[in-house]
Structure 1
Amino acid sequence: MAKQKTVYFCKECGHESSKWMGQCPACKQWNTFVEEKIASSGKQGGAKPLKTSASPMNISEVVMESEERIPTGIGELDRVLGGGIVKGSLSLVGGDPGIGKSTLLLQVCRNMANAGRKVLYISGEESMHQIKMRAERLGTFEQEMLLFCETDLDAICQAILKSKPEFVVIDSIQTMYSEELSSAAGSVSQVREVTAQMMRIAKEENIAVFIVGHVTKEGVVAGPRTLEHMVDTVLYFEGEREAAYRILRGVKNRFGSTNEIGVFEMSGNGLLEVENPSKTMLNGRPLDASGSVVVCSMEGTRPILIEIQALISPTSFQMPRRTAVGIDYNRVNLLMAVLEKRVGLALGGCDAYVNLAGGMRLGEPAIDLGIIMAIASSYKNTALPEDTIIFGEVGLVGEVRAVSGGESRIKEAEKLGFKRCILPKANVDAIKKKPKIHLIGVSNVREALDLI
C-alpha cells in the first residue's frame, strides 16, 4: 500500500507546498493554504495530454474550422454566451444554493433534446427520480435525454465516451472524485483533476460540457482559482433567492463579450426570460417621490434603465450610518464626500441609505451622477420630474465626465417614454443625430444640482 504524505494547496491559485504558510508566495493571498493527504506513489495525478500535432506548426498552415454554435433555445443565455454554445467548449456556472443553476441547465437540456440533439445529464447530488420530478415541472421532454447519477470520474468518462452526446452537464464539480487521488471529493486537488479530465474530453471529442460549481461565502466558486482559468466560459448567477429576478453574468468568455448579462424571472415552471429588463425593473416605480431617480447603465451591448433610491435623514448616533444595496459601498462614500466638499451639502450629520431597485448589482461609473442626484433630492426633499433620466461619471473635483454608449442610452430612454435626459455635456456635443428627447448637458455637479 502506498504511503500517504501531507501537502498544502493554495485555494486561490493552486500553489503546492510541503508546509503551511500564512501567505501564498505565488498569489500573495493570506490564509489560503489547506491541508490534503495524497498518495506518495510514483504515479502522478493529472489529466492525460491532449491529442495534438507531433511537432509545432506554422500559424499560416493551421486550417480554420467554422465556429459552429448550438442554440440553447433560451435567448438570454445565448446573448451571454455570445450567440450559443460552442462545440468543444468547457463552461462553468456558479451561484448561491437555490439560485437556479440546475434549473436553467435542465431547461437547456430539454430544449436541445427536443431539437433532436443527444444530451447527457450527470448528477452527483440527486437521484434519477428526483431529476425526473424536477424535469416534469419544467415542461414536456418530447425526445429522450440521458441521465446518469455517478460521482466516480472514471465511470463518468466511460459513459461520455460510450454514449457520445453533443451536450453534457456535470452537476456538480464538487461531488466528483478520481480514485487516483486519495483526497476527499471537493478538495483542491480533486476539483482540479476532474476539471482537467473534462477539458480533455471536451476538446478531443468536440463535446460541449457545462459544469456546475458551488460558491463560497465570498461569492466565488469553491475550489482553486485555477478552475476559472482552465475553463472557456465562467457564468455567475446573481440575485437573492427571495427575489423574483435572477441575473446571469458572463465573467469570462473566450468566444464572446464578458460584459453581457441575461435577466430571468423565477416562476413555478422554471426560469422565464425577461426580454425588456428596463420596463420590468421600472414597474411600480414611485412617482413624485424625493430621492428616486432613473439611471441608465450599459451591460455589454444592452442599455438597462433602473431606479436608484436614496434616503437621507438626521442621525441619532454619534457616527452616522451608511448603507448601500446593489452599489459599491465605497463608491457611495466617495460621492457623498464630493457633495460635501464641492457643493457644500452638510451630510456629515445624516444617515444615508442608497438602494438599487430590482435586486441587481451595478458597478459602472455612469451611474455616479444618478447617485449624486438621488442623495441631493432626498436631502432637499425635492422630487425630480418623473420623465427624467440621468447618467454620467463624476470625478473627485466634481466634474461630470463623458461615458461610452451615449446614443444607445438615449434611444432606450426614448423607447420607454422619457422626455428629459441629464447627461455629461461632452456626450451632448458628440451626438450627431438630434433625438426627440430633451438633452440637458452638465459639466459639473453644481450645474446638475441646480436642476433640482
Structure 2
Amino acid sequence: MKKKTVFICENCGYQSIGHLGRCPECNSWHSLKETIVDEKKGTTSIRTSIEKKPIKRLQDVVSTNSDRIVTNINEFNRVMGGGIVKDSITILSAKPGAGKSTLLLQVANDLAKMDYKVLYASGEESESQIKNRADRIIEKIHPKVWVMSDNNMNNVLGTIEEIDPDLIIIDSIQTFTLEEFPSSRAGSPTQTMECANALVEIAKKQDRPRAIILIGQMTKEDEIAGVRALEHLVDAVLIIEGESGEELRTLLTTKNRYGSTGEMGFFYITDKGMISIDNPSEYFMTAREGDGTMPGSAITVVREGTRPIILEIESLVSDSFTPYPSRIGECLKREQLNTLVSIIEQRGGIRFYDKNVVIKTTGGIKLKEQASNLAVLMSIISSVKNKGISNDTVFISDVGLTGELKRVPSLESRIRELDRMGFRYVYVAPNSGKGIKTSNLKIIELETLKDVIKNVFD
C-alpha cells in the first residue's frame, strides 16, 4: 500500500505536508514530528471495515441511565450523578500526588466486594508499586481486583476479553500505545485518541456494556494533557483539586452526560486513603464551646454544584504601619476584597485607610458567588469592632455598591439547609424570603448594610 510522510504536532494533532518550526494551530515550537502513514487508510482510525448498525426510532431505544454501579463512597456517587453508569467512559485528572490512583483503587476494591470484577491496568507503575499502595490504603484486598502493568493497549484489550471485567481502570491513558501505529509515540495525539476510541468501543457494546475510568495526566496549565477531543469523547470529566500541603480534596465534574455538570464532592486525604466528607456543612464550620461567638467570624451558605453548604468566613483586621495597607484574600480575588472594603467605608461608615484586612474560609473553599458578600462584610466588621456574632446567625445576600442588599438565586434550598442544621436567624434581602416555610429559623429581611450592622451589633 502506498505510504506518505506527514508532520504531526504532538500537542494538538495538527498535520502538515512539510516541516514547520512552529505549529500554526497551537503555536508550539519544534512540536511537529515526521510520521509515515498509509495514504489510503490515514492515521485516525484502526477499523478495517465499517459495520452498519440498524437504525432505531428514538422512542424505541432502551435507556440505561438508571443502570448504575453504586459504590459505598457517597461523595464519589454524588459527583458521578448517583453512581457509575455501566456503559460509560470517564476521565479523571489532577496534579501529581492529588490522589487519583488512591481514590480509584478504593473504588475498585469497594466494587469488588459487591461481586463486580475490576481490572486495573497501569502504564506508569509496576504491579508491586500498585500493591504497596493498596496495602497502605485498603484493609483487605479483594480477589476480584486484577492488576496488570503494561503500556501495550493491545495486551490490555486481550486481557479484557480474557477476564471479562465490569470496571476497567486505565492509569494513565497518555502512557498506552496501540501496535497499529508504530510511528507514533505514547502520549501523542494519535496514540491517545486511538487508545481511547478502542476503549469506547469496549464500553459501549450493547451485549456486554462495561464501565471504564481513564486517569489523565495534567499539564502545567492545569488542563488534561493531549488534544481537547479526548474530553469530548468521554461521558464524564472529573478533576481533583487541592493543595499538596493540605488534607482537603475536592472532586469536581466539568462534564457529565449522566448527571449535573459542576457537581462537587469533598474528601480529606490521609495515610489510609481518601475519606468521604458526607456532611460538608459540619466540616466547614469551627466547633466552638459555649456560645460560640468569636470576633471576625460570620456564616453563610454557598452552593457547590447542586448542594448548599454552610460555610464559615473568618477575617482579621489589624493596624497598618505602612502607606499601603495589605488586602489578603485567600478565598476570593483581591479586586473583589478591595471592592467590599470600599463598600464598608462608604456605606458602613468604617474607615480602613490604616487597617490591614485578611480573609479566609474554613476548609479553604473559594468564594465563587455573590451570595456570600454580606457574610464577608459582616466578618470584617465583626473583626474591626472586636465583637463576635452569634453562631446561630447566618448571612445570605449580595451587597451592591449602594449598600443595598440584593437577592440571590436558590435561596430556598439554602434556607432549608440552615433549618435542618438548627440555625435560628438568617439575614436576607427584602422580599426574598416570602413563602419559604421553616421550623425554627427566623428570616430577617433588611434593606441596607447599615441596617444589618445596626441590627446585629446594636
Q: Does 1:305 align with 2:303?
A: no
Higher alpha-carbon Rg:
2
Which whole-Å CA distance do the structure 2 matches of 1:157 and 1:440 have between them? 62
Q: In structure 1, what is the equivalent of residue 432 of structure 2?
A: 427
Look up the SS of the partner of 2:43 in the other structure. Answer: coil
Q: Does 1:237 align with 2:236?
A: no
Deviates more, 1:410-419 or 1:119-128: 410-419
Return closer, same or farther for 1:45/1:154 CA change in 2, 3 Å cut-off: farther
Q: CA deviation at 1:127?
A: 1.3
Of 414, 418, 421, which residue of structure 2 is paired with 1:413? 418
Gaps of 5+ in 1: 25-29
Return closer, same or farther for 1:16/1:357 CA change in 2, 3 Å cut-off: farther
Deviates more, 1:314-323 or 1:218-227: 314-323
Q: Does 1:225 align with 2:224?
A: no
Q: Does 1:439 align with 2:422?
A: no
Of 41, 44, 55, which residue of structure 1 is paired with 2:42? 44
Q: Does 1:211 align with 2:211?
A: no
Which whole-Å CA distance do the structure 2 matches of 1:229 and 1:362 have between them? 29
Return closer, same or farther for 1:222/1:442 CA change in 2, 3 Å cut-off: farther
Q: CA deviation at 1:123?
A: 0.9
Q: In structure 2, what is the equivalent of residue 127 of structure 1?
A: 126
Deviates more, 1:107-116 or 1:190-199: 190-199
Which whole-Å CA distance do the structure 2 matches of 1:52 and 1:364 have between them? 49
Asked if 2 retains the 8 angstrom alpha-carbon contact of 1:37 and 1:183, the reply is: no
Q: Could you report, residue by residue, the CA deviation over 1:248-305 in whole angstroms, capped at 9, with x for unpaired residues?
A: 1222111011232222222332222222121122234594332211111122332211
Q: CA deviation at 1:68?
A: 0.9
Deviates more, 1:312-321 or 1:238-247: 312-321
Asked if 2 retains the 8 angstrom alpha-carbon contact of 1:45 and 1:193, the reply is: no
Return closer, same or farther for 1:70/1:315 CA change in 2, 3 Å cut-off: same
Return closer, same or farther for 1:428/1:54 CA change in 2, 3 Å cut-off: closer
Asked if 2 retains the 8 angstrom alpha-carbon contact of 1:114 and 1:141, the reply is: no
Q: Could you report, residue by residue, the CA deviation over 1:311-343 in whole angstroms, capped at 9, with x for unpaired residues?
A: 233444444433222334443333334334544
Q: Could you report, residue by residue, the CA deviation over 1:98-152 in whole angstroms, capped at 9, with x for unpaired residues?
A: 2211111111111111211111000112211122222223121343211111112
Which whole-Å CA distance do the structure 1 matches of 2:77 and 2:237 have between them? 14
Deviates more, 1:162-171 or 1:400-409: 400-409
Q: Does 1:353 align with 2:358?
A: yes
Q: CA deviation at 1:34?
A: 6.8
What is the correspondence of 1:162-201 to structure 2 with a 5 Å cutoff?
A: 162-179=162-179, 180=181, 182-201=183-202
Which whole-Å CA distance do the structure 2 matches of 1:442 and 1:170 have between them? 54
Return closer, same or farther for 1:134/1:38 CA change in 2, 3 Å cut-off: same
Which whole-Å CA distance do the structure 2 matches of 1:318 and 1:217 have between them? 37
Q: What amino acid sits opposite 2:201 in the alignment?
A: R
Which whole-Å CA distance do the structure 1 matches of 2:123 and 2:164 have between them? 20
Asked if 2 retains the 8 angstrom alpha-carbon contact of 1:5 and 1:40, the reply is: yes
Return closer, same or farther for 1:285/1:393 CA change in 2, 3 Å cut-off: farther
Q: CA deviation at 1:58?
A: 4.2
Q: Does 1:249 align with 2:239?
A: no
Which whole-Å CA distance do the structure 1 matches of 2:65 and 2:228 have between them? 31
Identical counterparts, % of pairs: 34
Q: In structure 2, what is the equivalent of residue 83 of structure 1?
A: 82
Deviates more, 1:300-309 or 1:320-329: 320-329
Q: Could you report, residue by residue, the CA deviation over 1:400-419 in whole angstroms, capped at 9, with x for unpaired residues?
A: 22223333323332343422
Q: In structure 1, what is the equivalent of residue 277 of structure 2?
A: 274
Q: Could you report, residue by residue, the CA deviation over 1:162-217 in whole angstroms, capped at 9, with x for unpaired residues?
A: 33211000111222233415343233443333323322322235211001122233
Asked if 2 retains the 8 angstrom alpha-carbon contact of 1:419 and 1:437, the reply is: yes
Deviates more, 1:179-188 or 1:265-274: 179-188
Q: Does 1:364 align with 2:369?
A: yes
Look up the SS of the partner of 2:432 in the other structure. Answer: helix
Return closer, same or farther for 1:268/1:201 CA change in 2, 3 Å cut-off: same
Which whole-Å CA distance do the structure 1 matches of 2:381 and 2:23 have between them? 46
What is the correspondence of 1:271-350 to structure 2 with a 5 Å cutoff?
A: 271-284=274-287, 287-350=292-355
Q: In structure 1, what is the equivalent of residue 158 of structure 2?
A: 158
Q: Does 1:114 align with 2:113?
A: yes
Asked if 2 retains the 8 angstrom alpha-carbon contact of 1:233 and 1:253, the reply is: yes
Question: What TM-score, normalized by structure 1, do the two folds share?
Answer: 0.87
Q: In structure 1, what is the equivalent of residue 103 of structure 2?
A: 104
What is the correspondence of 1:16-31 to structure 2 with a 5 Å cutoff?
A: 19=20, 24=25, 31=27
Which whole-Å CA distance do the structure 1 matches of 2:439 and 2:228 have between them? 46
Q: CA deviation at 1:53?
A: 4.7
CA RMSD of the aligned region, Å?
3.0
Q: In structure 2, what is the equivalent of residue 35 of structure 1?
A: 31
